[in-house]
Structure 1
Amino acid sequence: MSPRISTIEHSLHRTRVEKVVLNDTTLRDGEQAPGVAFTGAEKADIARALAKAGVTELEAGTPAMGPEEVAAIRSIVEAQLPLRAIAWCRMRREDVDAAIASGVSMVNLSVPASDRQIAVKLHGDRARAKELTAQVVDYARSRGLDVAVGGEDSSRADPEFLVELMAVARAAGARRFRVADTLSVLDPFSTHDLVSSLRRETDMEIEIHCHDDLGLATANTLAAVKAGATHASVTVIGLGERAGNAPLEEVAVAAAQLYGIETGVVLTELQPVAALVAAAAGRPIPVNKSIVGDHAFTHESGIHVDGLIKDRRTYESLDPGLLGRAHSIVIGKHSGSAAVAAMLDVLRLPFSSGEIARIVARVRSHALDRKEPVSNEVLKDIWRDVRRQSEIRVS
């Protein structure tokens, strides 16, 4: 084991985190996924579903997009849900004014943090980024808004500059700094290192915002939380730019399951809210999607099914009952005699020891030919045919 990994693992075990606030940005970053567009009514429905699921912070949209977006955000605010609606803004006074028109009490003011993005987007240098941050944060605070500053492309920024930018934001009245892995360049180890170093320098709230281009968004988010992040940006089913964001359902369940970290999320509501967002986004949930996919607790392998039948703990680390779900067994190529026999018992179809072997062989052949699970109706047909053959042999 390398010294670096050993040091990080020691730090992970040493850090005691009891709670993290999940800031759901499905209605902002999630809607930025290619081809996704929510109507005002859909946004309101999703906000209500998230509130029911125990989410307490919601990035409701980008007011600078125009009157329709302002109206959609305002409808969420006026619904008086048990969550805080936050508006995403560029580091511009006019964006703050649009946020005020939407009725929110908090804004996330985004500013480029990496040298490349500062040069391209601000046509300036680090001093310009700090100057702009101080001015606009002060303006938002003077208008009565709580402020989070989002460091766009934080993961490619000079860490020392991030510390300086955070200090400027805090001095101007910001309560939170968002560390954004905008281009998904972090891994869990570098995430932990970065957030730990920032945590040592400030008492501000720190929010982690991860993208999933490398499939590490959930892992990186958890690493940040273990390093001291107080808030985590997530989206339902990981919806978002490019490969998406850290999924709400994965972060909420993993935080509780692995670390006992409280998020306030009602786990039994995760599947309904996922179905609602998927329908509104026109993005079907993959059947093998963790936590909320149809096959997340479905088993075919004979070895696994045999173990589950005898003692479900042999092949269960996450109790599906916590999510309002249950294990299910499908019959297919990899099914063994125990699984097929159990299904025949459920269907109340009698069989002999000799018949079960023939039924299993027929099941596997059918599954291989059709490349799909064997339905109960097909299993009944196979059973009838095997029983008929048995009767012929006896006669």
Structure 2
Amino acid sequence: MTQPAFAHSAAPAPGKVTICDTTLRDGEQTAGVAFSLSEKCAIALALDAVGVAEVEIGVAAMGHQEIAEMRAIAATLERAAPVVWTRLRRGDIELARQTGVRRLHIAVPTSDAQVSGKLRTDRAWVLEETARLVRHAVGLGFGVSVGAEDASRTELGFLIRLADVAARAGAIRFRIADTLGILNPFAAHRLVCDLTGAVRLPVEFHAHNDFGMATANTLVAASAGAPFLSVTVNGLGERAGNAALEEVAAALEAAGVATGITLNTLPQLSALVATASARPLPAAKPIVGEYVFTHEAGIHVDGLLKDRRVYEAAVIAPDRFGRAHRLVVGKHSGVSGLCHALREAGLPDDPDTARALLPFLRAWANGAKRPAGPADLAQLMQALPPLHHGGGTATGGLA
């Protein structure tokens, strides 16, 4: 069978990277997460709409129901290429044929711990089996990428040999996975630089977040020459998760690297996955968290009210992500912010009233543990002496 052309087989142009999402595969491997078919299709459709280039849609070896669902998911994609994940087993490849998908990723254990401990074999067998199965899959019409599982604990020389074997057998890409999440940005940069300078295949980088560095590692991998980046929405994934799509895309675009991702649709995608995974987003989650564009501290609110540029950089402006600044009042509010909140609530908003109200607001915030809304401010106003219900003496407060 003639091998078809694959749109994402070659490396992107300089200044551009390709985003490959694995929310429906590695993301669903998060402990306790399970997506229904309707949720999978909705997520796939949203990933397609946001501009993801490839969507890893599942593991064919899970069985016939999974295969049927993968066929349905693939049918929802209009632009993104669906990818089936397989182990280094011929049976997995035969099952992948039943999905109708023409892109295949073969994961190959590469570290000594995995080769001997999981496969109970040696490096020579891994090289031979990789060559055999890649040739077989290519002969069936698949576009094949090969992934080095546990690459971060694998000798560089063996990774180079494996990539060469994969290329000779017809693979279109070589993925390196920091499976245990042990890399730091310095080590990740060095690994990708060393590998991209020695192999003929485009490199894809797949990071895990065990030390909280998956996003940073993914960014430096791109700068070191990896044009394909593997991510998940909200950073879902095994253990501490993977590199987060929304963080990687936003940071790369801020650095002038095109990703093809429509940034202002990221909050909706994130919310969809958070609901489907039953994993609520942390309030301070970068880009998509509820409070990441919310300000309370007096000095920040005063600056933003005067000129947004004081505490806003264009590359991280909320409107780039379909969001807006939200100014709230609480323990650390100053006079300017409280005056603004009182005005928005239709309450007396002169500076003297705000100064008089600040001690009551701070005491209230200690117990409430949340920003004060209009009803809260109205109730707090009732605690003020009549003199301060629209003007009075100053009691002090931050700007």
**TM-score, normalised relative to structure 2:** 0.92
2:312 is equivalent to residue 316 of structure 1: yes
Q: Which residue of 2 aligns with 1:234?
A: 231
2:285 to 284, 289, 295: 289
Paired with 2:67 and 2:119, the residues of 1 have a C-alpha distance of: 25
Indicate whether 1:77 and 2:53 are aligned.
no
Tell me the equivalent position of 1:25. Answer: 22
1:298: which partner in 2? 294
Cα-to-partner distance string for 1:79-124 (whole Å, 9 max, x where unaligned): 3421100000001111111111011111110011111101112211
2:141 maps to: 144
Preserved contact between residue 85 and residue 106 of structure 2 (Cα < 8 Å)? yes
Q: Map Cα deviations across residues 205-252 of structure 1 (whole Å, 9 max, x no partner).
A: 110000000000000000000001010100000000000000000000
Which residue is equivalent to 1:245?
Answer: 242
RMSD (Å) for aligned C-alpha atoms:
1.6
Deviation at 1:369, TM superposition (A): 2.4
Change (3 A) 1:391 1:340: closer
Aligned position for 2:87: 90
SS in 1 for 2:384: helix
Equivalence map 1:1-395=2 (5 Å): 17-257=14-254, 259-317=255-313, 318-386=316-384, 388-390=386-388
Letter in 2 for 1:255: L
Could you list the runs of 5+ residues in structure 1 that have no partner in the other structure?
1-15
Give the percent of matched residue pairs that are identical in Structure 1 and Structure 2: 46
CA offset digits 1:30-55 (Å, max 9, x no partner): 00000001111111110001111111
Alpha carbons 2:56, 2:82 under 8 Å: kept: yes
Write the letter of the residue equivalent to 1:349: L
The separation in 2 between residues aligned to 1:85 and 1:41, in whole angstroms, is 17
| 1:122 counterpart SS class | coil
Deviation at 1:386, TM superposition (A): 2.6
C-alpha distance in structure 2 between counterparts of 1:141 and 1:203, whole Å: 18
Q: Which has the higher helix share?
A: 1
Q: Aligned partners of 1:181, 1:314: CA distance in 2, in Å? A: 39
The alpha carbon displacement at 1:56 in A equals 1.5
Q: State the shift of 1:368 in Å.
A: 1.2
* Deviation at residue 385 of structure 1 after TM alignment: 4.0
Contact 1:17/1:225 (<8 A) preserved: no
Mapped partners of 1:169, 1:98: distance in 2: 21
State the match for 1:9 in structure 2: none
1:345–1:165: structure 2 CA closer, same or farther, 3 Å change rule?
Answer: same
Paired positions, count: 378
Deviates more, 1:74-83 or 1:304-313: 74-83
Partner Cα separation in structure 2 for residue 43 and residue 391 of structure 1: 55
Q: Please state how far the C-alpha of 1:383 moved relative to its aligned partner.
A: 2.7
Are the equivalent residues in 2 in contact too, given 1:147–1:174 (CA < 8 A)?
yes
Q: Distance in 2 between matches of 1:345 and 1:131?
A: 73
Q: Which runs of 5+ in 2 are unaligned?
A: 1-12, 393-399
Counterpart-to-counterpart distance in 1, 2:391 and 2:215: 58
8 Å contact 1:20–1:225 — kept in the other structure? yes
2:44–2:76 Cα contact (<8 Å) kept: no
Measure how far apart 1:389 and its partner are.
4.6
2:350–2:390: 8 Å Cα contact kept in structure 1? no
Residue 249 and residue 314 in structure 1: after superposition, are their counterparts in 2 closer, same or farther (change >3 A)? same
**1: distance between equivalents of 2:199 and 2:377?**
63
Contact 2:356 2:388 in 1 (8 A): no
